[in-house]
A = this chain, B = another copy of it.
C-alpha cells in the first residue's frame, strides 16, 4: 500500500491517534470529514494531516474530504491490525498481568498464546484463558509454536539474559516494558519500548518546569 517506501517515524507515531479519532467519529455516526475539521479536533494542522495521509495514498476526494469509515479502515490496514502475530509474554508480575489482562491484542494485530515466569508462586496461575508456564519451557514452547513477538515484563536485571534466549529462539520483535535498552544489544530487531519510569520523569520535568520562575 505505501506509495514511497520508508515513512518517517513521526508520521507512524501519529497513525494510532488518527485511527482512534476516526474510530470515535465512526461511533458517532459521522460519515465524512475534511482535513481542516479533523485538524481542529486533534490539535494539528490540516496540512500535516494531508501530508501524513499522502505518504500512503490519496484517500480523500477534492471538494468532499475523507470518508470516515474508509479512512479508518485504510489506516488500520496500514498499521497491519488485521495480522495475528503470535506472541508470548514473559514476566507475570503486576505489570505483566495488567498488560495480559488489559490489552485487546486481537484487535491490534496480535495473539497472546503464552505467559511465562520463573517464580514457582506464579507458575500455574491462570490469566485470561492462559496458564503461566515455567520460563524453563520457553525453548520447547517456541519450537512447537512459531512465535512472532515477545512482550518483556521482567525486571531490568533479568532482561539481558532473557533477551539472549529469545533472540537465539529466532524472535526478532519485542514489546519492551523492561527498563533495559534492547536495541543496543541486537541490531536486527524491532523494538517498541514502554519505559514507564522515563515517562514519569518527563512528567516530573514538565511540572517542575512549569512552576519554575520566569527567567
* Chain A residues packing against B (C-beta within 8 Å): 2, 5, 7, 12-13, 15-17, 19-20, 41-43, 78-81, 83, 85, 93-95, 97-99, 101-105, 108-110, 148-149, 173, 175, 179, 181, 183-184, 190, 192, 194-210, 212, 214-215
Contact = CB atoms under 8 A, between A and B. Distances in A.
A12 B205 contact: yes
B78 A205 contact: yes
A208 B183 CA distance: 18
B149 A208 contact: no
Contacts of A16: 195, 197-198, 201-202
Q: How many copies does the complex hold?
A: 2
Nearest to A190: B206
6 contacts: A2-B209, A2-B212, A5-B215, A16-B198, A94-B101, A173-B203
Contacts of A207: 80, 83, 85, 109, 148-149, 173, 190
Given A94-B101, A97-B98, A199 B192 contact: yes
Q: What 4 pairs between A and B have smallest CB-CB spacing?
A: A80-B208, A98-B98, A109-B204, A16-B198
Contacts of A2: 209, 212
Contacts of A202: 12-13, 15-16, 79, 192
A203 B79 CA distance: 9
B79 A205 contact: yes
Contact of A206 (B192, B206, B214): B192
Interface-centre pick from A12, A20, A101 (highest chain B CB count, 10 A): A20
Nearest to A40: B184
B197 A203 contact: no
A181 B19 CA distance: 13
A26 B150 CA distance: 30
B206 A83 contact: no
